[in-house]
Amino acid sequence: MNIIDFFITEQKRLHKWMGESVRELTLEEWNYMPQGNGNSIAFLVWHCVRTEDNILRFILQQRPPRWNEENWHETGCDGQASGRYDGSPGHWPGLYHSLLYAFW
């Protein structure tokens, strides 16, 4: 197995594992904000998805990330955000499991 095959195999495994881990969460659990400096599960999954998109498309392929090229930013989620959900209404509108699964 070469490095590309290894990477593809591991990415598929990671996607399956992460998807299975969050698939049954309610929206309340998905968006729950712990006290202190924690982030919601929704933000953490979104961050993983966007980071992968940036690395694979922008850095390795020197192409626009899918988030931009396919207008995913029009979902209302800030594609440039980095950091903590601020808890205000509408900060992460439409960030549902199905949105991230469709993107991923």
- The domain limits of the chain are 3-103
Q: Residues 35, 38, 43, 49: what is their CA dihedral angle, to the nearest 10 degrees?
A: -160
Q: pLDDT tens per residue, the chain (104 residues)?
A: 888 889 889 988 988 898 888 888 888 888 787 888 778 888 888 888 888 888 888 898 899 988 888 877 666 665 555 444 555 544 554 455 566 666 66
Q: How far is CA 34 from the centre of its chain?
A: 19
For the full predicted model, state whether its pTM sits above 0.75. no
23 near 97, Cβ under 8 Å?
yes
pLDDT of the residue at 90: 44
pLDDT of the residue at 33: 79
pLDDT of the residue at 102: 66
pLDDT of the residue at 84: 47
